[in-house]
């Protein structure tokens, strides 16, 4: 039976069939709550475990990086030769220099970008973990589990998390065991507890899946970087590099943003959450789960706004230069006519 959740015993008589059915259904439901508690614990622990993307995964992505770099290098060489040839015919030295510099630096630039991508990802993940420990005094997964009434796994790491223990004072246990003397009412309380735990299970599953999608996205972007970054000498294809960079920055920021949202939820909901707080918490976990999408959209928005601001600044500078040129011309004409008189 689940630790922390007493086995339902409604004191049914031998001929009280309705009570016995309610008691049996309650026991099955409590077993489901136990299983869902184990599932939630696994999801939270694995979504925010105290590590970043493993070095072995980065090595696999690195192998794919060089595979695509070798393929793209041939296309880059052909394009560079073509652009230089056209530049020679047109006597366009700028075009020749751009093609040659872009083709020569394509691979070093890609290696530099991916190397810093890996470093920033590791630094971002470790910073998020450290910040939550400083704020909560424990890991984020521990805080999330204790908030909903589950015992966190052993901090030593020696004990494999196989079963979650419910705190006897938690909201879920209070709901499941807080019925009246009526067997039907007691069963309703247990079902309500199961529904809340089921909602939390769905939220924790989304959190785990989308954090894994974030990690897989970063690995895929590292592996496929040559397709976006090795054509930097071609102005038409610069948009690929910008899109790659915005995706990378957004996904790097996703984990700290998700951690910040969850820490805020725990802090705002208090130490002894009620039923409403538990439901709001489940919704907040879903919002945090979609942090990769919010972060990418935020980076795209910020990049667009910065580009528009720079464009407006350039346009204003050009207008000011034109006004100053007209004023200078007017002053010059005035002085010329003044001297003529």
pLDDT tens sequence across 279-301: 888 888 888 888 888 788 877 76
Q: Is residue 59 part of a domain?
A: yes
If one compares 35 and 272, the residue with the highest pLDDT of the two is: 35
Count of structural domains, the chain:
1
The Cα–Cα gap between 200 and 82 comes to: 59
Q: Tell me whether residue 61 is in a domain.
A: yes
Range of the domain at 132: 17-289
Is the residue at 263 inside a domain? Answer: yes
CB atoms under 10 Å from CB of 201, counted, come to 20
Q: Where residue 312 falls among pLDDT bands split at 50, 70, 90?
A: low
Percent of the chain with pLDDT over 90: 9
**Assigned domain for 301 exists:** no
Instruction: Please tell me the pTM assigned to this model.
Output: 0.76
Q: Report residue 19: phi and psi, to 5°.
A: -65, -40
pLDDT computed for residue 161 by the predictor: 43
Residue 208, CA distances (Å) to 60, 213, 315 in order: 22, 9, 46
**Domain contains 10:** no
Structure tokens at 170: 């938690």
Is 322 a member of any domain? no
Gyration radius of the chain over CA positions: 31
Distance CA 289, CA 283 (A): 10
Q: Residue 273 has what DSSP assignment?
A: -
In a domain, 35, yes or no: yes
**51: exposed, middle or buried (Cβ count in 10 Å: 0-12, 13-18, 19+):** exposed
282 domain residue, yes or no: yes
Residues in the chain: 341
E runs forming strands in the chain: none
Q: What are the pLDDT digits (tens) for 61-102?
A: 999 999 999 988 888 888 888 878 888 888 877 778 877 887
Q: What would the two tokens of residue 87 be? A: 């530049």
């Amino acid at each position: 039976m689940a630790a922390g959740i007493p086995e339902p015993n409604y004191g049914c008589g031998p001929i009280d069939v309705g009570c016995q059915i309610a008691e049996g259904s309650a026991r099955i439901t409590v077993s489901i709550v136990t299983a869902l508690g184990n599932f939630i614990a696994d999801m939270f622990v694995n979504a925010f475990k105290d590590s970043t993307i493993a070095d072995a995964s980065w090595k696999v992505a690195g192998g794919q990086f060089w595979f695509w770099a070798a393929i793209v290098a041939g296309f880059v060489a052909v394009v560079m030769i073509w652009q230089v040839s056209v530049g020679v015919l047109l006597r366009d030295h700028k075009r020749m220099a751009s093609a040659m510099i872009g083709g020569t630096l394509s691979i070093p630039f890609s290696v530099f970008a991916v190397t810093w991508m890996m470093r920033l990802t590791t630094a971002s993940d470790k910073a998020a973990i450290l910040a939550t420990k400083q704020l909560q005094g424990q890991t984020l997964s521990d805080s999330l589990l204790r908030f909903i009434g589950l015992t966190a796994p052993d901090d030593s790491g020696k004990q494999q998390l196989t079963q979650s223990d419910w705190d006897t004072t938690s909201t879920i246990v209070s709901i499941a065991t807080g019925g009246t003397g009526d067997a039907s009412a007691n069963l309703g309380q247990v079902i309500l507890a199961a529904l809340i735990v089921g909602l939390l299970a769905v939220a924790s599953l989304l959190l785990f899946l989308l954090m894994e999608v974030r990690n897989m996205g970063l690995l895929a972007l590292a592996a496929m970087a040559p397709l976006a970054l090795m054509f930097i000498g071609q102005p038409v294809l610069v948009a690929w590099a910008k899109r790659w960079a915005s995706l990378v920055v957004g996904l790097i920021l996703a984990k700290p943003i998700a951690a910040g949202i969850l820490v805020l939820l725990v802090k705002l909901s208090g130490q002894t959450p009620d039923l409403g707080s538990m439901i709001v918490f489940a919704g907040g976990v879903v919002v945090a789960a979609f942090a990769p999408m919010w972060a990418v959209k935020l980076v795209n928005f910020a990049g667009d706004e910065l580009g528009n601001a720079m464009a407006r600044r350039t346009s204003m500078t050009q207008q000011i230069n034109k006004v100053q040129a007209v004023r200078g011309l007017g002053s010059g004409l005035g002085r010329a006519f003044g001297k003529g008189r």
